[in-house]
Structure 1
Amino acid sequence: MARTIQSLERAAAVLRLLAGGERRLGLSDISSAIGLAKGTTHGILRTLQQEGFVEQEPASGRYQLGAELLRLGNSYLDVHELRARALVWTDDLARSSGESVYLGVLHQQGVLIVHHVFRPDDSRQVLEVGAMHPLYSTALGKVLCAYDPVAHSEVAEVVREPLTPHTVTGADAFEAALELTRARGWAADVEETWEGVASVAAPVHDRRRMPVGAVGITGAVERVCQEGVVRPEIVAAVRDCVRAVSRDLGAGRF
Protein backbone atom coordinates (compact mmCIF):
# COMPACT_ATOMS: atom_id res chain seq x y z
CA MET A 1 0.00 0.00 0.00
CA ALA A 2 1.34 3.43 -0.93
CA ARG A 3 2.40 5.59 2.00
CA THR A 4 0.64 8.90 2.55
CA ILE A 5 2.50 12.20 2.81
CA GLN A 6 2.10 13.48 6.36
CA SER A 7 2.55 17.17 5.52
CA LEU A 8 -0.25 17.00 2.95
CA GLU A 9 -2.52 15.21 5.40
CA ARG A 10 -1.90 17.94 7.96
CA ALA A 11 -2.53 20.70 5.43
CA ALA A 12 -5.77 19.01 4.40
CA ALA A 13 -6.82 18.82 8.06
CA VAL A 14 -6.28 22.58 8.42
CA LEU A 15 -8.34 23.34 5.32
CA ARG A 16 -11.20 21.09 6.44
CA LEU A 17 -11.17 22.75 9.85
CA LEU A 18 -11.37 26.24 8.32
CA ALA A 19 -14.13 25.08 5.97
CA GLY A 20 -16.43 24.10 8.84
CA GLY A 21 -17.70 25.86 11.92
CA GLU A 22 -16.43 29.39 12.49
CA ARG A 23 -15.18 31.27 9.45
CA ARG A 24 -12.01 32.56 11.15
CA LEU A 25 -9.78 30.78 13.67
CA GLY A 26 -6.66 31.76 15.56
CA LEU A 27 -3.38 29.83 15.59
CA SER A 28 -4.05 28.37 19.05
CA ASP A 29 -7.53 27.19 18.03
CA ILE A 30 -6.20 25.48 14.91
CA SER A 31 -3.20 23.82 16.56
CA SER A 32 -5.39 22.53 19.39
CA ALA A 33 -8.06 21.21 17.03
CA ILE A 34 -5.67 19.25 14.81
CA GLY A 35 -3.37 18.18 17.65
CA LEU A 36 -0.14 19.78 16.48
CA ALA A 37 2.36 22.12 18.08
CA LYS A 38 1.89 25.82 17.38
CA GLY A 39 5.19 26.02 15.51
CA THR A 40 4.27 23.17 13.18
CA THR A 41 0.79 24.57 12.65
CA HIS A 42 2.16 28.03 11.91
CA GLY A 43 4.47 26.58 9.28
CA ILE A 44 1.57 24.84 7.55
CA LEU A 45 -0.56 28.00 7.66
CA ARG A 46 2.30 30.12 6.30
CA THR A 47 2.75 27.75 3.34
CA LEU A 48 -0.98 27.63 2.63
CA GLN A 49 -1.10 31.41 2.86
CA GLN A 50 1.74 31.77 0.33
CA GLU A 51 -0.19 29.55 -2.10
CA GLY A 52 -3.41 31.53 -1.63
CA PHE A 53 -5.32 28.71 0.05
CA VAL A 54 -5.48 30.55 3.39
CA GLU A 55 -5.75 34.25 4.25
CA GLN A 56 -4.92 36.00 7.52
CA GLU A 57 -7.01 38.89 8.80
CA PRO A 58 -4.55 41.71 9.66
CA ALA A 59 -6.52 43.11 12.60
CA SER A 60 -7.14 39.91 14.55
CA GLY A 61 -4.49 37.62 13.11
CA ARG A 62 -7.13 34.94 12.56
CA TYR A 63 -7.08 32.67 9.53
CA GLN A 64 -9.75 31.87 6.95
CA LEU A 65 -9.96 30.06 3.61
CA GLY A 66 -8.36 31.89 0.70
CA ALA A 67 -9.64 32.88 -2.73
CA GLU A 68 -7.48 30.30 -4.53
CA LEU A 69 -9.72 27.53 -3.20
CA LEU A 70 -12.74 29.25 -4.73
CA ARG A 71 -10.95 29.48 -8.07
CA LEU A 72 -10.09 25.78 -8.00
CA GLY A 73 -13.60 24.86 -6.89
CA ASN A 74 -15.18 26.86 -9.69
CA SER A 75 -12.77 25.27 -12.17
CA TYR A 76 -13.92 21.83 -11.05
CA LEU A 77 -17.56 22.78 -11.34
CA ASP A 78 -17.07 24.34 -14.78
CA VAL A 79 -15.66 21.12 -16.19
CA HIS A 80 -18.17 18.93 -14.43
CA GLU A 81 -20.26 17.64 -17.33
CA LEU A 82 -23.34 16.99 -15.24
CA ARG A 83 -23.46 20.53 -13.94
CA ALA A 84 -22.74 22.01 -17.38
CA ARG A 85 -25.57 20.03 -18.96
CA ALA A 86 -27.99 20.89 -16.16
CA LEU A 87 -27.50 24.68 -16.04
CA VAL A 88 -30.21 25.73 -18.50
CA TRP A 89 -32.74 23.12 -17.40
CA THR A 90 -32.40 23.84 -13.68
CA ASP A 91 -32.70 27.57 -14.32
CA ASP A 92 -35.93 26.90 -16.22
CA LEU A 93 -37.18 24.66 -13.39
CA ALA A 94 -36.60 27.36 -10.77
CA ARG A 95 -38.39 29.93 -12.94
CA SER A 96 -41.40 27.72 -13.64
CA SER A 97 -41.77 26.37 -10.10
CA GLY A 98 -40.87 29.52 -8.19
CA GLU A 99 -38.69 27.43 -5.84
CA SER A 100 -35.01 26.75 -5.19
CA VAL A 101 -33.44 24.01 -7.30
CA TYR A 102 -30.49 21.84 -6.31
CA LEU A 103 -28.27 19.46 -8.27
CA GLY A 104 -26.56 16.89 -6.04
CA VAL A 105 -24.13 13.99 -6.38
CA LEU A 106 -22.92 11.28 -4.01
CA HIS A 107 -19.85 12.27 -2.00
CA GLN A 108 -18.46 10.77 1.23
CA GLN A 109 -21.72 9.35 2.63
CA GLY A 110 -23.62 12.52 1.81
CA VAL A 111 -25.04 14.59 -1.03
CA LEU A 112 -22.67 17.23 -2.41
CA ILE A 113 -24.53 20.21 -3.88
CA VAL A 114 -22.79 21.05 -7.17
CA HIS A 115 -25.35 23.56 -8.46
CA HIS A 116 -27.95 25.72 -6.71
CA VAL A 117 -30.47 28.00 -8.41
CA PHE A 118 -32.04 30.57 -6.12
CA ARG A 119 -35.77 30.87 -5.68
CA PRO A 120 -36.77 33.63 -8.14
CA ASP A 121 -37.99 36.21 -5.63
CA ASP A 122 -36.45 38.98 -3.57
CA SER A 123 -35.95 36.96 -0.39
CA ARG A 124 -32.51 36.65 1.19
CA GLN A 125 -30.91 33.33 0.24
CA VAL A 126 -27.54 31.65 0.84
CA LEU A 127 -25.69 29.87 -1.96
CA GLU A 128 -25.22 26.23 -1.00
CA VAL A 129 -22.85 25.07 -3.73
CA GLY A 130 -20.29 22.86 -1.97
CA ALA A 131 -22.60 22.11 0.96
CA MET A 132 -23.18 18.55 2.11
CA HIS A 133 -26.76 17.39 2.68
CA PRO A 134 -27.75 14.18 4.50
CA LEU A 135 -27.99 11.08 2.34
CA TYR A 136 -30.76 9.40 4.30
CA SER A 137 -33.30 12.18 4.90
CA THR A 138 -33.26 14.44 1.84
CA ALA A 139 -35.13 13.78 -1.38
CA LEU A 140 -31.84 14.07 -3.28
CA GLY A 141 -30.21 11.51 -1.00
CA LYS A 142 -33.07 9.05 -1.15
CA VAL A 143 -33.04 9.18 -4.95
CA LEU A 144 -29.31 8.44 -5.02
CA CYS A 145 -29.70 5.57 -2.54
CA ALA A 146 -32.59 4.11 -4.54
CA TYR A 147 -30.83 4.10 -7.90
CA ASP A 148 -27.09 3.98 -7.14
CA PRO A 149 -25.77 0.76 -5.49
CA VAL A 150 -22.73 2.64 -4.21
CA ALA A 151 -24.92 5.21 -2.47
CA HIS A 152 -27.05 2.41 -1.05
CA SER A 153 -24.00 0.74 0.46
CA GLU A 154 -22.72 4.08 1.80
CA VAL A 155 -25.98 4.94 3.56
CA ALA A 156 -25.95 1.54 5.27
CA GLU A 157 -22.89 2.72 7.22
CA VAL A 158 -24.46 6.05 8.23
CA VAL A 159 -26.01 6.47 11.68
CA ARG A 160 -29.49 7.75 10.82
CA GLU A 161 -30.04 10.32 13.53
CA PRO A 162 -33.54 11.85 13.70
CA LEU A 163 -33.19 15.40 12.38
CA THR A 164 -36.88 16.17 12.94
CA PRO A 165 -39.81 14.17 14.34
CA HIS A 166 -40.53 13.08 10.75
CA THR A 167 -37.10 11.64 9.89
CA VAL A 168 -37.23 7.98 8.84
CA THR A 169 -34.52 6.17 10.80
CA GLY A 170 -35.55 2.50 10.91
CA ALA A 171 -33.87 0.19 8.41
CA ASP A 172 -37.09 -1.47 7.21
CA ALA A 173 -38.95 1.83 6.86
CA PHE A 174 -36.01 3.37 4.99
CA GLU A 175 -35.80 0.44 2.55
CA ALA A 176 -39.56 0.73 1.99
CA ALA A 177 -39.08 4.41 1.13
CA LEU A 178 -36.38 3.49 -1.40
CA GLU A 179 -38.65 0.85 -2.93
CA LEU A 180 -41.39 3.46 -3.32
CA THR A 181 -38.88 5.84 -4.90
CA ARG A 182 -37.89 3.26 -7.50
CA ALA A 183 -41.53 2.41 -8.21
CA ARG A 184 -42.63 5.97 -8.92
CA GLY A 185 -39.34 7.46 -10.15
CA TRP A 186 -39.00 10.27 -7.60
CA ALA A 187 -38.52 10.88 -3.88
CA ALA A 188 -39.96 13.35 -1.40
CA ASP A 189 -38.74 14.81 1.86
CA VAL A 190 -41.59 16.41 3.80
CA GLU A 191 -40.04 17.94 6.92
CA GLU A 192 -37.66 14.99 7.34
CA THR A 193 -34.54 17.17 7.24
CA TRP A 194 -35.75 20.66 8.14
CA GLU A 195 -39.07 21.46 9.78
CA GLY A 196 -41.35 23.50 7.55
CA VAL A 197 -39.41 22.52 4.43
CA ALA A 198 -40.32 19.98 1.74
CA SER A 199 -38.44 18.78 -1.33
CA VAL A 200 -38.93 16.58 -4.37
CA ALA A 201 -36.12 15.00 -6.40
CA ALA A 202 -35.59 12.63 -9.32
CA PRO A 203 -32.50 10.91 -10.77
CA VAL A 204 -30.33 11.99 -13.69
CA HIS A 205 -28.93 9.19 -15.90
CA ASP A 206 -25.99 9.20 -18.30
CA ARG A 207 -25.55 7.54 -21.71
CA ARG A 208 -25.09 4.16 -20.02
CA ARG A 209 -28.36 4.72 -18.17
CA MET A 210 -26.40 4.89 -14.93
CA PRO A 211 -27.50 7.33 -12.18
CA VAL A 212 -25.02 10.19 -11.98
CA GLY A 213 -26.88 12.66 -9.77
CA ALA A 214 -30.25 14.05 -8.81
CA VAL A 215 -32.19 17.28 -9.29
CA GLY A 216 -34.57 18.51 -6.63
CA ILE A 217 -36.88 21.37 -5.74
CA THR A 218 -36.96 22.66 -2.16
CA GLY A 219 -39.42 25.07 -0.60
CA ALA A 220 -41.87 25.75 2.19
CA VAL A 221 -44.24 22.87 2.92
CA GLU A 222 -47.32 24.97 2.22
CA ARG A 223 -46.04 25.72 -1.30
CA VAL A 224 -44.62 22.31 -2.23
CA CYS A 225 -47.44 20.27 -0.67
CA GLN A 226 -51.20 20.42 -0.56
CA GLU A 227 -52.92 18.74 2.40
CA GLY A 228 -49.71 16.89 3.23
CA VAL A 229 -49.20 15.52 -0.30
CA VAL A 230 -46.62 16.78 -2.79
CA ARG A 231 -48.25 18.79 -5.56
CA PRO A 232 -48.36 16.69 -8.75
CA GLU A 233 -47.37 19.63 -10.94
CA ILE A 234 -44.12 19.99 -8.98
CA VAL A 235 -43.35 16.28 -9.38
CA ALA A 236 -44.03 16.57 -13.12
CA ALA A 237 -41.77 19.62 -13.44
CA VAL A 238 -38.87 17.90 -11.67
CA ARG A 239 -39.24 14.75 -13.76
CA ASP A 240 -39.35 16.78 -16.98
CA CYS A 241 -36.14 18.52 -15.92
CA VAL A 242 -34.20 15.32 -15.19
CA ARG A 243 -35.38 13.77 -18.47
CA ALA A 244 -34.01 16.77 -20.35
CA VAL A 245 -30.67 16.69 -18.52
CA SER A 246 -30.39 12.93 -19.01
CA ARG A 247 -31.07 13.29 -22.74
CA ASP A 248 -28.31 15.90 -22.95
CA LEU A 249 -25.98 13.40 -21.27
CA GLY A 250 -26.83 10.84 -23.93
CA ALA A 251 -29.33 8.73 -22.05
CA GLY A 252 -31.86 8.90 -24.88
CA ARG A 253 -35.60 8.84 -24.37
CA PHE A 254 -37.11 7.21 -21.28
Structure 2
Amino acid sequence: MAGSIQSVERAAAVLRLLAGGERRLGLTDVASTLGLAKGTTHGILRTLQQEGFVEQDDASGKYQLGAELLRLGNSYLDVHELRARALVWTDDLARASGESVYLGVLHKQGVLIVHHVFRPDDSRQVLEVGAMHPLHSTALGKVLTAFDPVAHREALEVERQRFTPRTVTEPDEFEGVLDITRARGWAADLEETWDGVASAAAPVHDRRRMPVGAVGITGAVERVCEDGEIRARLVAAVRDCARAVSRDLGGGRF
Protein backbone atom coordinates (compact mmCIF):
# COMPACT_ATOMS: atom_id res chain seq x y z
CA MET A 1 0.00 0.00 0.00
CA ALA A 2 1.34 3.42 -0.91
CA GLY A 3 2.42 5.69 1.94
CA SER A 4 0.60 8.84 2.95
CA ILE A 5 1.42 12.22 1.43
CA GLN A 6 2.85 14.53 4.10
CA SER A 7 1.58 17.78 2.59
CA VAL A 8 -1.97 16.45 2.46
CA GLU A 9 -1.72 15.21 6.05
CA ARG A 10 -0.54 18.64 7.18
CA ALA A 11 -3.33 20.42 5.29
CA ALA A 12 -5.87 18.09 6.89
CA ALA A 13 -4.38 18.83 10.31
CA VAL A 14 -4.73 22.58 9.71
CA LEU A 15 -8.38 22.17 8.71
CA ARG A 16 -9.14 20.02 11.75
CA LEU A 17 -7.50 22.60 14.00
CA LEU A 18 -9.52 25.45 12.52
CA ALA A 19 -12.68 23.35 12.81
CA GLY A 20 -12.06 22.57 16.47
CA GLY A 21 -12.30 26.06 17.95
CA GLU A 22 -14.77 28.90 17.97
CA ARG A 23 -12.20 31.66 17.40
CA ARG A 24 -9.98 32.55 14.49
CA LEU A 25 -6.36 31.47 14.68
CA GLY A 26 -3.24 33.35 13.64
CA LEU A 27 -0.28 31.93 11.75
CA THR A 28 1.79 31.57 14.93
CA ASP A 29 -1.06 29.78 16.73
CA VAL A 30 -1.48 27.25 13.94
CA ALA A 31 2.26 26.65 13.52
CA SER A 32 3.00 26.20 17.23
CA THR A 33 -0.02 23.97 17.87
CA LEU A 34 0.87 21.63 15.00
CA GLY A 35 4.63 21.81 15.52
CA LEU A 36 5.29 23.15 12.03
CA ALA A 37 7.64 25.84 10.78
CA LYS A 38 5.97 29.18 10.11
CA GLY A 39 7.02 29.14 6.47
CA THR A 40 5.51 25.70 5.92
CA THR A 41 2.33 26.67 7.75
CA HIS A 42 1.98 29.89 5.78
CA GLY A 43 2.31 27.99 2.50
CA ILE A 44 -0.40 25.52 3.52
CA LEU A 45 -2.75 28.29 4.66
CA ARG A 46 -2.22 30.31 1.49
CA THR A 47 -2.95 27.27 -0.70
CA LEU A 48 -6.09 26.42 1.29
CA GLN A 49 -7.15 30.06 1.04
CA GLN A 50 -6.72 30.08 -2.74
CA GLU A 51 -8.97 27.02 -2.97
CA GLY A 52 -11.62 28.62 -0.75
CA PHE A 53 -11.14 26.14 2.10
CA VAL A 54 -9.76 28.81 4.42
CA GLU A 55 -10.54 32.52 4.79
CA GLN A 56 -8.35 35.25 6.29
CA ASP A 57 -9.81 38.15 8.24
CA ASP A 58 -8.56 41.41 6.71
CA ALA A 59 -8.41 43.26 10.04
CA SER A 60 -6.70 40.69 12.26
CA GLY A 61 -4.95 38.54 9.66
CA LYS A 62 -6.27 35.43 11.40
CA TYR A 63 -7.69 32.38 9.65
CA GLN A 64 -10.97 30.45 9.77
CA LEU A 65 -12.70 27.77 7.69
CA GLY A 66 -13.88 28.96 4.28
CA ALA A 67 -17.27 28.71 2.60
CA GLU A 68 -16.06 26.20 0.00
CA LEU A 69 -15.10 23.64 2.65
CA LEU A 70 -18.41 24.07 4.45
CA ARG A 71 -20.28 23.65 1.18
CA LEU A 72 -18.34 20.51 0.24
CA GLY A 73 -18.89 19.08 3.70
CA ASN A 74 -22.63 19.14 3.18
CA SER A 75 -22.71 18.47 -0.57
CA TYR A 76 -23.40 14.71 -0.48
CA LEU A 77 -26.31 15.03 1.95
CA ASP A 78 -27.62 18.17 0.27
CA VAL A 79 -27.68 16.75 -3.27
CA HIS A 80 -29.33 13.47 -2.38
CA GLU A 81 -31.79 14.97 0.07
CA LEU A 82 -32.49 17.79 -2.38
CA ARG A 83 -33.37 15.38 -5.18
CA ALA A 84 -35.49 13.18 -2.90
CA ARG A 85 -37.44 16.15 -1.56
CA ALA A 86 -37.93 17.62 -5.02
CA LEU A 87 -39.34 14.56 -6.83
CA VAL A 88 -43.03 15.19 -6.22
CA TRP A 89 -42.83 18.96 -6.57
CA THR A 90 -40.91 18.89 -9.86
CA ASP A 91 -43.41 16.39 -11.30
CA ASP A 92 -46.19 18.79 -10.33
CA LEU A 93 -44.30 21.70 -11.92
CA ALA A 94 -43.91 19.82 -15.20
CA ARG A 95 -47.63 19.06 -15.29
CA ALA A 96 -48.62 22.61 -14.39
CA SER A 97 -46.24 24.31 -16.82
CA GLY A 98 -46.26 21.78 -19.64
CA GLU A 99 -42.47 22.19 -19.89
CA SER A 100 -39.31 20.34 -18.96
CA VAL A 101 -38.14 20.81 -15.38
CA TYR A 102 -34.52 20.80 -14.23
CA LEU A 103 -32.97 20.67 -10.76
CA GLY A 104 -29.35 21.82 -10.62
CA VAL A 105 -26.53 22.33 -8.12
CA LEU A 106 -23.18 24.11 -8.25
CA HIS A 107 -20.38 21.83 -9.42
CA LYS A 108 -16.95 22.56 -10.94
CA GLN A 109 -17.73 26.13 -12.06
CA GLY A 110 -21.01 25.10 -13.66
CA VAL A 111 -24.48 23.75 -12.96
CA LEU A 112 -24.79 19.98 -12.57
CA ILE A 113 -28.25 18.70 -13.50
CA VAL A 114 -29.24 16.24 -10.76
CA HIS A 115 -32.89 15.74 -11.74
CA HIS A 116 -34.79 16.18 -15.00
CA VAL A 117 -38.52 15.78 -15.56
CA PHE A 118 -39.54 15.44 -19.20
CA ARG A 119 -42.04 17.78 -20.80
CA PRO A 120 -45.40 16.00 -20.43
CA ASP A 121 -46.13 15.37 -24.09
CA ASP A 122 -45.27 12.68 -26.63
CA SER A 123 -42.19 14.43 -28.04
CA ARG A 124 -38.84 12.67 -28.11
CA GLN A 125 -36.57 13.96 -25.33
CA VAL A 126 -33.10 13.18 -23.99
CA LEU A 127 -32.46 12.74 -20.26
CA GLU A 128 -29.94 15.36 -19.11
CA VAL A 129 -29.17 14.15 -15.60
CA GLY A 130 -25.41 14.53 -15.20
CA ALA A 131 -25.13 17.25 -17.83
CA MET A 132 -23.26 20.47 -17.05
CA HIS A 133 -24.80 23.87 -17.86
CA PRO A 134 -23.00 27.24 -17.71
CA LEU A 135 -23.38 29.57 -14.74
CA HIS A 136 -23.51 32.88 -16.59
CA SER A 137 -26.17 32.29 -19.22
CA THR A 138 -28.71 29.75 -17.93
CA ALA A 139 -31.50 30.64 -15.52
CA LEU A 140 -30.34 27.92 -13.11
CA GLY A 141 -26.79 29.26 -13.24
CA LYS A 142 -27.79 32.87 -12.69
CA VAL A 143 -29.84 31.94 -9.63
CA LEU A 144 -26.94 30.02 -8.09
CA THR A 145 -24.51 32.81 -8.93
CA ALA A 146 -26.78 35.48 -7.47
CA PHE A 147 -27.43 33.73 -4.15
CA ASP A 148 -24.35 31.55 -3.55
CA PRO A 149 -21.06 33.45 -2.87
CA VAL A 150 -18.99 30.47 -4.03
CA ALA A 151 -20.87 30.29 -7.34
CA HIS A 152 -20.51 34.05 -7.74
CA ARG A 153 -16.74 33.82 -7.39
CA GLU A 154 -16.52 30.91 -9.81
CA ALA A 155 -18.71 32.62 -12.42
CA LEU A 156 -16.42 35.64 -12.38
CA GLU A 157 -13.24 33.56 -12.53
CA VAL A 158 -14.12 31.59 -15.66
CA GLU A 159 -14.26 32.88 -19.21
CA ARG A 160 -17.89 33.66 -19.97
CA GLN A 161 -18.55 32.28 -23.44
CA ARG A 162 -20.95 34.05 -25.80
CA PHE A 163 -23.37 31.33 -26.94
CA THR A 164 -25.84 33.63 -28.75
CA PRO A 165 -26.01 37.37 -29.49
CA ARG A 166 -28.06 37.73 -26.27
CA THR A 167 -25.46 36.19 -23.94
CA VAL A 168 -24.19 38.62 -21.30
CA THR A 169 -20.43 38.32 -20.82
CA GLU A 170 -19.14 41.73 -19.64
CA PRO A 171 -18.55 41.83 -15.84
CA ASP A 172 -20.47 45.04 -15.11
CA GLU A 173 -23.47 44.02 -17.20
CA PHE A 174 -23.42 40.54 -15.68
CA GLU A 175 -23.40 42.00 -12.15
CA GLY A 176 -26.43 44.07 -13.15
CA VAL A 177 -28.24 40.89 -14.18
CA LEU A 178 -27.41 39.33 -10.81
CA ASP A 179 -28.71 42.39 -8.97
CA ILE A 180 -32.02 42.05 -10.80
CA THR A 181 -32.11 38.33 -9.98
CA ARG A 182 -31.61 38.98 -6.27
CA ALA A 183 -34.22 41.74 -6.22
CA ARG A 184 -36.98 39.68 -7.80
CA GLY A 185 -35.96 36.26 -6.50
CA TRP A 186 -35.76 34.41 -9.83
CA ALA A 187 -33.78 34.40 -13.06
CA ALA A 188 -34.55 34.16 -16.77
CA ASP A 189 -32.64 32.91 -19.79
CA LEU A 190 -34.13 34.46 -22.94
CA GLU A 191 -32.25 32.72 -25.76
CA GLU A 192 -28.95 33.43 -24.00
CA THR A 193 -27.73 29.83 -24.09
CA TRP A 194 -29.66 28.25 -26.97
CA ASP A 195 -31.48 29.99 -29.81
CA GLY A 196 -35.25 29.60 -29.56
CA VAL A 197 -35.13 28.37 -25.96
CA ALA A 198 -36.14 30.25 -22.81
CA SER A 199 -36.11 29.29 -19.15
CA ALA A 200 -36.90 30.54 -15.66
CA ALA A 201 -35.46 29.35 -12.35
CA ALA A 202 -35.66 30.07 -8.61
CA PRO A 203 -33.37 29.16 -5.69
CA VAL A 204 -33.90 26.31 -3.25
CA HIS A 205 -32.76 26.92 0.34
CA ASP A 206 -32.07 24.48 3.15
CA ARG A 207 -32.65 24.70 6.91
CA ARG A 208 -29.60 26.97 7.23
CA ARG A 209 -31.15 29.38 4.74
CA MET A 210 -28.29 28.54 2.37
CA PRO A 211 -28.92 28.08 -1.36
CA VAL A 212 -28.37 24.39 -2.11
CA GLY A 213 -29.70 24.32 -5.65
CA ALA A 214 -32.07 25.80 -8.19
CA VAL A 215 -35.18 24.55 -9.96
CA GLY A 216 -36.48 25.77 -13.28
CA ILE A 217 -38.41 25.15 -16.46
CA THR A 218 -37.11 25.23 -20.02
CA GLY A 219 -39.02 25.33 -23.30
CA ALA A 220 -39.53 26.94 -26.67
CA VAL A 221 -39.69 30.74 -26.59
CA GLU A 222 -43.13 30.83 -28.20
CA ARG A 223 -44.56 28.74 -25.36
CA VAL A 224 -42.60 30.10 -22.41
CA CYS A 225 -42.60 33.80 -23.30
CA GLU A 226 -45.15 36.51 -23.94
CA ASP A 227 -44.18 39.97 -25.23
CA GLY A 228 -40.51 39.12 -24.80
CA GLU A 229 -40.77 38.08 -21.14
CA ILE A 230 -41.32 34.82 -19.27
CA ARG A 231 -45.06 34.28 -18.76
CA ALA A 232 -46.09 35.41 -15.28
CA ARG A 233 -47.94 32.16 -14.52
CA LEU A 234 -44.80 30.14 -15.28
CA VAL A 235 -42.66 32.33 -13.04
CA ALA A 236 -45.21 31.89 -10.25
CA ALA A 237 -45.23 28.11 -10.75
CA VAL A 238 -41.41 27.90 -10.62
CA ARG A 239 -41.23 30.01 -7.47
CA ASP A 240 -43.98 27.99 -5.80
CA CYS A 241 -42.06 24.79 -6.57
CA ALA A 242 -38.81 26.24 -5.16
CA ARG A 243 -40.61 27.35 -2.00
CA ALA A 244 -42.20 23.94 -1.56
CA VAL A 245 -38.88 22.09 -1.88
CA SER A 246 -37.23 24.59 0.46
CA ARG A 247 -39.94 24.03 3.08
CA ASP A 248 -39.42 20.27 2.83
CA LEU A 249 -35.71 20.85 3.43
CA GLY A 250 -36.50 22.87 6.54
CA GLY A 251 -35.96 26.24 4.90
CA GLY A 252 -39.24 27.67 6.17
CA ARG A 253 -41.31 30.29 4.41
CA PHE A 254 -39.75 33.05 2.32
Rounded to whole Å, the distance in 2 between the matches of 1:177 and 1:151 is 15
What aligned pairs does 1:1-254 form with structure 2 within 5 A after superposition?
A: 1-2=7-8, 80-254=80-254
- What letter is aligned with 2:8? A
- What letter is aligned with 1:163? F
How many residues matched? 182
> Are 1:205 and 1:212, in contact at CA under 8 Å, matched by a contact in 2?
yes
What percent of counterpart residues are identical?
81
Tell me the alpha carbon deviations over residues 150-197 of structure 1, each in whole angstroms, 9 at most, x when there is no partner: 000111111011001110011011000000000000000000000000
Rounded to whole Å, the distance in 2 between the matches of 1:100 and 1:177 is 24
Tell me the alpha carbon deviations over residues 185-219 of structure 1, each in whole angstroms, 9 at most, x when there is no partner: 00000000000000000000000110000001000
Call closer, same or farther: CA 1:225–1:77 in 2, change over 3 Å: farther
> Are 1:78 and 1:84, in contact at CA under 8 Å, matched by a contact in 2?
no
- What letter is aligned with 1:251? G
Rounded to whole Å, the distance in 2 between the matches of 1:207 and 1:193 is 32
Tell me the alpha carbon deviations over residues 65-122 of structure 1, each in whole angstroms, 9 at most, x when there is no partner: xxxxxxxxxxx89980000000000000001100000000000000000000000000
> Are 2:144 and 2:203, in contact at CA under 8 Å, matched by a contact in 1?
yes
> Are 2:78 and 2:212, in contact at CA under 8 Å, matched by a contact in 1?
no
> Are 2:105 and 2:111, in contact at CA under 8 Å, matched by a contact in 1?
yes
Call closer, same or farther: CA 1:77–1:147 in 2, change over 3 Å: closer
> Are 1:104 and 1:114, in contact at CA under 8 Å, matched by a contact in 2?
yes
- What letter is aligned with 1:183? A
> Are 2:97 and 2:234, in contact at CA under 8 Å, matched by a contact in 1?
yes
State the secondary structure of the residue aligned to 1:200: strand
Rounded to whole Å, the distance in 1 between the matches of 2:171 and 2:212 is 24
> Are 1:118 and 1:125, in contact at CA under 8 Å, matched by a contact in 2?
yes
> Are 1:139 and 1:216, in contact at CA under 8 Å, matched by a contact in 2?
yes
- Structure 1 alignment gaps of length 5 or more: 4-75
Q: CA deviation at 1:2?
A: 2.6
Call closer, same or farther: CA 1:136–1:78 in 2, change over 3 Å: closer
- What letter is aligned with 1:162? R
> Are 2:187 and 2:202, in contact at CA under 8 Å, matched by a contact in 1?
yes
> Are 1:77 and 1:83, in contact at CA under 8 Å, matched by a contact in 2?
no
Rounded to whole Å, the distance in 2 between the matches of 1:243 and 1:229 is 22
TM-score normalised to structure 1 length: 0.70
Rounded to whole Å, the distance in 2 between the matches of 1:182 and 1:78 is 22
Tell me the alpha carbon deviations over residues 6-49 of structure 1, each in whole angstroms, 9 at most, x when there is no partner: xxxxxxxxxxxxxxxxxxxxxxxxxxxxxxxxxxxxxxxxxxxx
Rounded to whole Å, the distance in 1 between the matches of 2:212 and 2:78 is 16
Tell me the alpha carbon deviations over residues 208-243 of structure 1, each in whole angstroms, 9 at most, x when there is no partner: 110000001000001110111110000000000000
Q: Which consecutive aligned stretches of 4+ in structure 1 deviate over 2 angstroms post-superposition?
A: 76-79
Rounded to whole Å, the distance in 2 between the matches of 1:210 and 1:121 is 35
Rounded to whole Å, the distance in 2 between the matches of 1:111 and 1:79 is 12
- Structure 2 alignment gaps of length 5 or more: 1-6, 10-75
